[in-house]
Amino acid sequence: MTRYIFITGGVVSSLGKGLASAALGALLQARGFSVRLRKLDPYLNVDPGTMSPIQHGEVFVTDDGAETDLDLGHYERFTGVPAARSDNITTGRIYQEIIARERRGDYLGGTVQVIPHVTDAIKEFVLSDAGGVDFVLCEIGGTVGDIEGLPFFEAIRQLGNELPRGQTCFIHLTLLPFIPSAGEMKTKPTQHSVKELRSIGIQPDILMCRADRAIPKDERRKIALFCNVRETGVIQALDVDTIYDVPHAYHLEGLDAEVLSVFGIEDSPEPRLAQWHNITSAIREPEGDVTIAIVGKYTGLKDAYKSLTEALVHGGIANRVRVNFEWLESEIFETGDTAYYLEEVNGILVPGGFGERGAHGKIAAANFARTRNVPYFGICFGMQMAVIEAARNMAGIENAGSTEFGPTDEPVVGLMTEWMKENELVQRKANGDLGGTMRLGAYDAALKAGSKVAEIYGSTAISERHRHRYEVNMGYREKLEAAGLLFSGTSPDGLLPEVVELPSHPWYIGVQYHPELKSKPFDPHPLFSSFIAAAVEQSRLV
């Protein structure tokens, strides 16, 4: 029997609903239950793939090639359960499907309406493809009271009645602000938020109250009374020093016990949290530290690189060092002195990116790393820029460029027009749709035996997630290899480059895929562990 937990938010956004859901998932797993986590996003984009990372944060790509909300990244990192296309839905996708059905004539004779058609489609999504797990956790994006969220709240309200009794639990996440001039923690915004929720027919079972200090007993009682929730259902959710302590912190507040009690499960053994204790102790008691420069274009919003920074933290856990981030807008290298900014760092990472703005700064950063023997990790766009740098300065192809920036005489990086996906040919045209048309999701790659990257993975066959439209042009392979840049990984048919490395350098690797998407705190990605190990080595030299 699958039980459903719905997580909504109120008062303000950015309270960490995604993390709270992920942590609860991890706690239920630690008690031996299987879980699946889902996100319902009320915005009108069909998926976040076409949104700027500055708008919406990182786009998280699943194995099955969906471009999804970054919360799915939290879910995977905390539970290890691979997210799928069926775990994230938006209003845009729901409407796209309904309108397609209407055009097909599926509703012939009927008026198509928000209730029941949109709400039915939402419910169908929530219930579909759950795979028989013990718990499905469903997070609703936005906050209660948002106009665009209404159909989602209505759909989960209906599910509360339609699913068998005792099979649903509603959790509402709110904020208790502390007003310094009054010296008091205020419960009113929480009361209003719950009132709003109850006015649309949802009575929360549990309130998770984010606060920057302990909630006094009286306030807890007051919240319980005014919000019609049991006192044990008012869970304080305080800030913690590392996100990986959240499962343990919520357990101490009784969250998992309260959730199980909502379902009438009273005999579950205590959760096994040893792996989380190991992770937090590695983070809190590091044996050293390294500084990594992240040279990107969306450095103003840290959420734009969420999986990346977490994967670097995981690399730190594997080496028991703290990883400090030096966020650098790549454009500064286009006018300033690269060395001035990069002299002190122990590693340089150029992450994924799109478009010409800032690209030349990334090429300059790759050049600095290569010529100064600083560990360099190029991911997707960061690999493409490293190859352009090598083409220009090692292979003497002066005008090397990418067709992503316009026509060029030397398209060292060019648009991919066809590739194989599971024995089928995929084709793209230069002027096609931009949404959902990149080379997306998990693809196998073959690594060259004896190469550095094969040694790091301990294997020559890997599968990694992709998200790109352009690709290093294999027509230049021979020239680049002659100049010293090794193509150490390709697609299994040998047609698409996947990894390049510089055998003459301590650690210089570019990958066309996004390894950060698969890294977990309890299973750090080998490339990130190895990159941080190289940074530790480098820190001993300076």
Closest approach of Cβ 431 to ligand GLN, in Å? Answer: 15
Binding residues for ligand GLN, how many (CB under 6 A)? Answer: 10
Write out the binding residues for ligand GLN, residues 177-196 only, by CB under 6 A. none
| Residue 467 binds to ligand GLN (criterion: CB under 6 A) | yes
Write out the binding residues for ligand GLN, residues 108-137 only, by CB under 6 A. none
Closest approach of Cβ 348 to ligand GLN, in Å? Answer: 16
Label each residue of 336-384 as H, E or C.
CCHHHHHCCCCEEEECCCCCCCCHHHHHHHHHHHHHCCCCEEEECHHHH
Q: Are 395 and 479 in contact (CB under 8 A)?
A: yes
Q: Is 107 or 405 the residue whose CB approaches ligand GLN more closely?
A: 405
User: Pick from 172, 468, 505, 525: which binds ligand GLN (CB under 6 A)?
Assistant: 468
Q: Binding string to ligand GLN for residues 329 to 358, with x set by CB under 6 A, is what? A: -----------------------xxx----
Would you say how long the chain is, in residues?
A: 542
Range in contact with ligand GLN (rule: CB under 6 A) among 206-214, 293-301, 468-476, 496-504: 468-476
Q: Binding string to ligand GLN for residues 417 to 456, with x set by CB under 6 A, is what? A: ----------------------------------------
| Residue 470 binds to ligand GLN (criterion: CB under 6 A) | yes
Active-site choice (219, 253, 380, 501): 380
Closest approach of Cβ 49 to ligand GLN, in Å? Answer: 11
Is residue 380 annotated as part of the catalytic site, yes or no?
yes
Tokens for 248, please give them: 């343990």
Closest approach of Cβ 466 to ligand GLN, in Å? Answer: 8
Is residue 404 annotated as part of the catalytic site, yes or no?
no
Rounded to 10 deg, the angle between the 188-199 and 217-227 helix axes is: 20
DSSP bridge partners of 322: 289
Rounded to 10 deg, the angle between the 17-30 and 255-262 helix axes is: 80
Q: Is 353 or 515 the residue whose CB approaches ligand GLN more closely?
A: 353
Closest approach of Cβ 352 to ligand GLN, in Å? Answer: 3
Distance CA 429, CA 229 (A): 56
Q: Is 67 or 154 the residue whose CB approaches ligand GLN more closely?
A: 67
Range in contact with ligand GLN (rule: CB under 6 A) among 158-166, 312-320, 368-376, 466-474: 466-474
What does each C-alpha distance from 424 to 65, 66, 474 come to in angstroms? Answer: 15, 18, 21
Distance CA 319, CA 197 (A): 46
Tokens for 225, please give them: 């009374």
Active-site choice (58, 169, 516, 525): 516
Number of Cβ within a 10 Å radius of residue 455 = 14
Closest approach of Cβ 78 to ligand GLN, in Å? Answer: 24
User: Pick from 83, 209, 380, 500: which binds ligand GLN (CB under 6 A)?
Assistant: 380
The runs of H, that is alpha helices, within 133-229 are: 150-162, 188-199, 217-227
Q: Is 168 or 402 the residue whose CB approaches ligand GLN more closely?
A: 402
Q: Are 387 and 374 in contact (CB under 8 A)?
A: no
Find tokens 């008691």 and name the residue.
285
Q: Are 351 and 305 in contact (CB under 8 A)?
A: yes
Range in contact with ligand GLN (rule: CB under 6 A) among 136-144, 150-158, 182-190, 464-472: 464-472
Q: Answer left, alpha or beta for residue 265, where phi above 0 means left and psi between -120 and 50 means alpha.
A: beta
Q: Which helix (H) or strand (E) holds 248?
A: helix 246-252
Closest approach of Cβ 463 to ligand GLN, in Å? Answer: 17
Q: Is 123 or 468 the residue whose CB approaches ligand GLN more closely?
A: 468
Q: Could you tell me which of 389, 419, 393 has the C-alpha nearest to residue 500? A: 389
The runs of H, that is alpha helices, within 495-542 are: 526-541
| Nearest residue to ligand GLN on Cβ basis | 352
Distance CA 495, CA 45 (A): 34
Is residue 516 annotated as part of the catalytic site, yes or no?
yes
Write out the binding residues for ligand GLN, residues 387-416 only, by CB under 6 A. 404
Q: Are 146 and 43 in contact (CB under 8 A)?
A: no
| Residue 65 binds to ligand GLN (criterion: CB under 6 A) | no
Q: Is 388 or 535 the residue whose CB approaches ligand GLN more closely?
A: 388
Q: Could you tell me which of 19, 63, 13 has the C-alpha nearest to residue 43? A: 13
Active-site choice (117, 251, 466, 514): 514
Give Cα 453 distance to the centre of its chain.
Answer: 24
Q: Are 233 and 205 in contact (CB under 8 A)?
A: yes
Q: Is 347 or 382 the residue whose CB approaches ligand GLN more closely?
A: 382
Q: Is 256 or 404 the residue whose CB approaches ligand GLN more closely?
A: 404
- Per-position DSSP letters for 62-96, written without gaps between them: PTT--EE-THHHHHHHHH-PPP-GGGEEEHHHHHH
Binding site for ligand GLN (CB under 6 A): 352-354, 380-381, 404, 467-470
Task: Indicate which residues carry an active-site annotation.
Answer: 380, 514, 516
